[in-house]
Amino acid sequence: MRIVDQRVVHENAAVANTSEVYSGTSIAIHEDGGEVLVCAFRLGSAKVSADGRILLRESRDGGKTWATVACPMDAEGAKGIAPLGGARQLAGPHLGSSTTGTSILAGALMTLVEPGSPKYQVQTAGIIDATCAFSRRETTGWSQPLVVDGRRTNAEWSIPCGTPTDLGGGRWIVPAERHAKPDDPQWLRRYNAFSFVSVDDGDSWADQGEMLNDPDQVCVYYDQHLVALPGGRLLSLAWTHNALQDRTVTARAGMSLDGGATWSTPWDTGIQGGPIAPVRLPDGRLFAVYPRREEPVGIRACVSLDDGATWELDDEFVIWDERLRAIAGVRAVESPVGGQQPLWDTMWGWTFGLPTPALHDDASVAVVFYASGLDGRSRVHYVRIEP
């Protein structure tokens, strides 16, 4: 595995410019007279802030240069779905493309309160409600976002949490999740993973039902990402958390044989970290990228030779080394297993994360992620990897 190119998609205009804080990155590749890379990321004055919006950058030269393109969920595009002056942000972008040229952008429309409000909770950084928004790339541009309410009751909020996955024939599936509001003492255990599906190429969306969930509500399976496998199978990779201890544990995976309607019992992948975003390579291997927040900290990649049953963890590849605050591009030399990092009390201060992959025409892999360098500047990075 090696990095063959690295570029900056977007960066702060100045050192420690607090008006530009990134969270959420995603990439998709489609054809339009040639290969077109599209990167989505969330930008705002804080990890969670009412000025949060989703931006798009596009590259038509293999990732070498990136240009701004209109986004249906930026500050202007969001006016149709978020009342002006309302304490709302758009966040958590997820991009996916199909072989027929359709692209789907999913995002979360979040309602916020400021510190000092009686409703403010530190664990959720002031998020008190959220629902899902979807947009479809058409020949004339992106459609007006369609808001789809994934909540079952007013005691929870819902967001999309994984890459829109093309199942063929105009059918799509998007992983999503529901969170209980933190005034519930057991709110971490009330988590519920489910999926949205579209059968009309993204024009409408419906709740298909549950994804990987622990019936005992001890392990929660956050940010599930999917990859379609031969024979109509779907693999889901989950960033796994012990809700009783608020500790990340090694990631779990599950398989569906019916398009995501039902799922197998989850198994342990041994991967330390998450969210875990996979892509299938032309030679049949699975390539996955993920943040690792146990020492040694950074962004890593590994492959599976057996459709996700096992992973080549003795050959992990370090994309980003957080100790150096730099792109590494080296084989991991140390990989102790810990699984004891708190999540909700630390995630709002993370300075790197959310890598996602997409497959280039030449079978190399495009990966985007956000990270802050030693110079104090936050950037959205693109790397091209030969796996």
Domain ranges of the chain: 2-386
pLDDT beyond 90 at 32 = no
How much is the pTM?
A: 0.93
Question: Nearest to residue 137, comparing CAs of 232, 221, 38, 43?
Answer: 38
Q: Which amino acid is at 108?
A: A
**Preceding peptide of 275 cis, ω within 30°:** yes
pLDDT at residue number 374: 85
The Cα 379–Cα 327 span in angstroms is 12
* Per-residue pLDDT band at 294 (split at 50, 70, 90): confident
- b/e per residue 167-204 (b: at least 16 CB within 10 A): beeebbbbbbbbbbbbeeeebbbbbbbbbbbbeebbee
Residue with token string 């701004």: 68
Q: DSSP secondary-structure letter at 8?
A: E
pLDDT digit string (tens) for 323-376? Answer: 899 999 999 976 554 445 555 555 555 788 899 999 999 999 999 999 988 887
* Per-residue pLDDT band at 84 (split at 50, 70, 90): very low
**CATH code, residues 2-386:** 2.120.10.10
- b/e per residue 260-287 (b: at least 16 CB within 10 A): beebeebeebebbbbbbbbbbeeeeebb
User: Lowest-pLDDT range, 28-32, 132-136, 214-218, 221-225?
Assistant: 28-32
